[in-house]
Amino acid sequence: MTLPKNRQRFEELLTRWIGIEEKTIETADDLMGQSKNPMLKAIIDLLKRDSEKHKHTLEAIQHSLDHAVTFTTDDMRVVDTFIEKHALIEKNAVETARQALEMSSLPIPRFLLENLLIDEKKHDAYMDELNELKLQMAKTTQ
């Protein structure tokens, strides 16, 4: 993204997207107060937290536009440690989630468990991608 015109458009898109996520968070807060159903609240909260995560990620991207993003040697060690510890902690998470899903027959718990299983699989993929990113960053810092 070297052209100023492209950067400006990119920044506008990020800002618009953050606004969308903020509206979702606000709407979720409003709607959760209107229900006493714990399962409905859990579903709405799941979406709210995803929007909070998206907003945080988009803000980090915005911040990175004006700051050089590098990984120091210490950062590389932190990434390695995180990947290693995450693998140990969540070693059986996907299989546990699969087993729980197989045992559930009620629609709402199944819906929630299916989404948790998707998230656990994403975590595994993130660790692979984070390791690849670390390798790319290592090439640029040498």
Rg of the chain, C-alpha, whole Å: 19
Q: Is 45 a residue whose pLDDT tops 60?
A: yes
pLDDT at 36: 93
Whether the pLDDT of residue 141 is over 80: the answer is no
What are 83-126's pLDDT values in tens digits?
999 988 888 898 999 999 999 999 999 999 999 999 988 988 89
Q: How far apart are the C-alpha atoms of 41 and 35, rounded to whole Å?
A: 7
Nearest 5°: the CA angle 88, 132, 13 is 110
Q: What is the per-residue pLDDT across 50-84, written as a single tens digit (0 to 9) for each?
A: 999 999 999 999 998 988 788 888 988 999 999 99
Produce one character per residue of 7-40: b if its CB has 16 or more CB atoms within 10 Å, e if not. eeeeeeeeeeebeebeebbeebeeebeeeeeeee
On whether the CB atoms of residues 59 and 85 are closer than 8 A, the answer is no
**CB 51, CB 21: distance < 8 Å:** yes
Q: What is the mean pLDDT of residues 18-40?
A: 95
Residue 1 reports pLDDT greater than 50:
no
